[in-house]
Structure 1
Amino acid sequence: MQIKVLDARLHDWGLPRFQTEGAAGVDLFACVEDVVQIEAQAPAILIKSGISISFGDPSVAGLVLPRSGAGHKKGLVLGNTVGLIDPDYSGEIMMSVWNRNPVGSAPIEVRAGDRIGQLVFVPVVRPSFEVVEEFTEQTIRGAGGFGSTGS
């Protein structure tokens, strides 16, 4: 997998890397020029990560997720809940951020170099579809949906 550094400040802050031996994702930095004020319940804002990636493998994709501390402690979450980076996308990775706090709460400040997201790599399965009138395999659950297995 190749990474392109689009913001030279990443060389000072540190390139995306796994922070611990058991980490599932690499942190993404906010590559902003000035402090960004994210007002509570305002529309989501796109923040640059300063990197682009060439996956080199169509069976791997990236998921952009919020950092749990920023979401739980500050209320900073992703405006699209999860960002999908398709393996054929090679542009800059962007983070849609949103302040989930109640209206009237203080804005969340995002500064250059803040770690506000994380990128997790996942396998991609691309099945072929066969149109059928009835499924060959039956399950006990069948078409039982929301709440069908209990409350």
Structure 2
Amino acid sequence: MATVYDINIKKLDEKAVIPTYGSEYAAGADLYACLDEAITIEPGQTVMVHTGIAMEIPEGFAGLVYARSGLASKKGLAPANKVGVVDADYRGEIMVALHNHGTQAQTVEPEERIAQLVIAPYIVGEFHQVDELSDTVRGAGGFGSTGK
């Protein structure tokens, strides 16, 4: 079973919906559109969609905003930045830059699930400039270099 943390949420709008998990083992909590009325996103267009919430993510963690697979595959709507990052010290409204990757206009309804938030630990790197890096079998081989 996953470790459960208390996450403080502040509703910035009375219409906001608190994130929910779709199943017992879901890693991502659904984020909901906080809208007064439906909006239409044209093909190739990106719209900042409000969630109406702010939250306190624990220190040492980040909120990662991912696409909802159903919304992306059925409507072609997914975060424009692929994965949004909500830092632990951010206290503003969580918004989703929803992009229409499809060929038809798509409508987002109030309280529609628009993305999912995964709260994950992260490591802070301390970067050191060096003259040489250690050798590996792969070396500097880039895109597709390990495939056959």
**Counterparts of 1:129 and 1:80, CA distance in 2:** 25
Deviation at 1:25, TM superposition (A): 0.7
Instruction: Return 5+ residue gaps in structure 2 as ranges.
Output: 1-6
Query: Counterpart of 1:81 in 2: which secondary structure?
Result: coil
Q: Which of 32, 37, 62 lines up with 2:35 in the alignment? A: 32
| Percent sequence identity over aligned pairs | 42
- RMSD over equivalenced CA pairs, Å: 1.3
- Taking the aligned partners of 2:131 and 2:144, their CA distance within structure 1 comes to 26
Counterpart in 2 of 1:94?
Answer: 95
Q: Structure 1 unaligned runs (5+)?
A: none
Q: CA deviation at 1:17?
A: 2.1
Query: Which of 50, 58, 65 is the aligned partner of 2:52?
Result: 50
Superposed CA offset, 1:4-54 (max 9, x none): 1112223xxx52122211100110000011210111122x10001111111
TM-score, normalising length: structure 1: 0.88
Contact 2:9 2:18 in 1 (8 A): no
| 2:147 counterpart of 1:150 | yes
Following superposition, the deviation at residue 120 of structure 1 comes to 0.6
Whichever residue aligns with residue 5 of structure 1, its letter is K
CA positional deviation for 1:150: 2.1
Q: Return structure 1 stretches of 4+ with deviation > 2 angstroms.
A: none
Deviations 1:33-81 (A, max 9, x none): 1210111122x10001111111231x10011111110100111111111
- Number of paired residues? 142
Q: Give the structure 1 partner of residue 74 of structure 2.
A: 73
Deviation at 1:138, TM superposition (A): 2.1
Alignment of 1:123 onto 2:125: no
